[in-house]
Structure 1
Amino acid sequence: MFLTFDDGPIPGVTPWVLDTLKSNNAKATFFCIGDNIRKHPELFKRIVAEGHAIGNHTFHHISGWKTSNEKYLNDFKRCKEEIENHSSSTYLFRPPYGKCTSAQAKAILKDNQHIIMWDVLSKDYSGNISKEQCFDRVQSQAKPGSIIVFHDSLKAEGNMKYALEKTLKTFKEYNFKSIKL
């Protein structure tokens, strides 16, 4: 199974995720927002130093469906540059909200990037579901090879913490990996 986290790095939340993954001997992929990398470079460096994969999640977390191709691709490139400013590189990209136009996707693929989506969305960010419902979504949908989405954000923190711990315990027999290409 592949654990992924979108929207970080965020103080307080991302360190907790990293500590929890470490204590469970699990790896993950972090799709980072460029502006959060800029604001919290020490957290970004910790993600990389601890052997997790990283991916581009645009600089400002913008929706491709609501943004011109030029603006969206510039935001994508700005995040890529921010990642590279910290002695890292990535070939992984996840569009915020899972939304980009076909023209945007073609340009990103042409830039030698791999667009990584998911098959299990925890919905940890939703104020309309409980932490138990968040975990139930993961438990009922996950299977070997699944790509599970959590968020290392303040909005998702409560649901994510509960669901991540339960996910790691419930699926302990699976090897949680980071996505590496």
Structure 2
Amino acid sequence: MLRFYRTPPVLPWLFPKVWWRRPVSGKTIFLTFDDGPIPEVTPFVLEQLAAFNAKATFFCVGENLERHPEIAQEVLAQGHVLANHTQQHVKAWNYTPAAYRDQVVLCQAVLEKIGPKPVGKKLFRPPHGQLTWRHLRMLAPEYQVVMWSTLTYDFDASLAPEKCLDKAISITGPGSVVVMHDSLKAERNLRFVLPRLLRHFSGLGYSFKTL
């Protein structure tokens, strides 16, 4: 199976207004978690982050927010950021830009019932990384689209946890936007990789901040 752990250079060139990695002056990494919150996994993520005084950005599915608002509120209470991942985790290629935007707006409404309205553009990550120019133009006035520079593939059950960790460490550095998943599908690899990733980079003097 071909895996693109690191973002191919052509994509930031084609989509320069999308955030792929962030400019930093020191050892800073931006951890992000997609698809939650869920009670089986998100509390574990919060425990691990707290152990290393790490902050992260959670790109949440609106339906999960509605099911588990108390977990979302705990994410905020611990100093992390909630962001938009559509209402039902839909693929952009299956939706017209207008219908896709409806999914984004629904999720944003749920987010703003749980926490404060963002100042400036709202953070959004498209599920599966799927987006087109037409979708991007529709969202750009209100939303900052965030992709990634490191994809851990923690959701891939055929990938050994040790391999998942080794690849993530090898391509992550200052300014990296790292994607992991607080989901049942990713749980096995996440539980192995996250504490070790945090320990490794903390030992090298890195800090973990929100976007």
What TM-score does the superposition give when structure 2 sets the normalisation length? 0.82
For each residue in 1:78-98, what CA deviation from the matched residue of structure 2 results, as whole angstroms up to 9, or x when unmatched?
Answer: 000010111333411001011
Match of 1:143 in 2: 173
The answer to whether the 8 Å contact 2:73/2:115 transfers is no
> SS at 2:173's partner residue?
coil
The alignment of Structure 1 onto Structure 2 pairs a total of residues equal to 178
Correspondence 1:93 to 2:86:
no
Unpaired segments of 5 or more residues in structure 2?
A: 1-28
In the TM superposition, what are the counterparts of 1:22-171 in structure 2 within 5 Å? 22-90=50-118, 91-111=122-142, 113-171=143-201
Q: % of aligned pairs identical?
A: 41
The RMSD of aligned alpha carbons is 1.0
- In the TM superposition, residue 12 of structure 1 has moved relative to its aligned partner by 2.1
2:131 maps to a residue whose letter is C
Give the structure with higher Rg (CA): 2
* Cα distance in 2, alignment partners of residues 136 and 45 from structure 1: 32
Which residue in 2 is equivalent to 1:178? 210
When residues 157 and 84 of structure 1 are mapped into structure 2, their CA distance, relative to the original with a 3 A threshold, is same
Letter in 1 for 2:115: S
1:101-133 deviation digits (Å, cap 9, x = unpaired): 21111121112x111110000000001201111
Q: Which stretches of structure 1, 4 residues or longer, exceed 2 Å deviation after superposition?
A: 87-90
Q: Unpaired runs of 5+ in structure 1?
A: none
Residues in 1 aligned to 2:151 and 2:101: alpha-carbon distance in whole angstroms: 25
Rounded to whole Å, the distance in 2 between the matches of 1:105 and 1:83 is 21
Q: Distance in 2 between matches of 1:144 and 1:107?
A: 31
- Three-state SS of the structure 1 residue aligned to 2:207 is coil
- 1: CA distance between counterparts of 2:156 and 2:179? 13
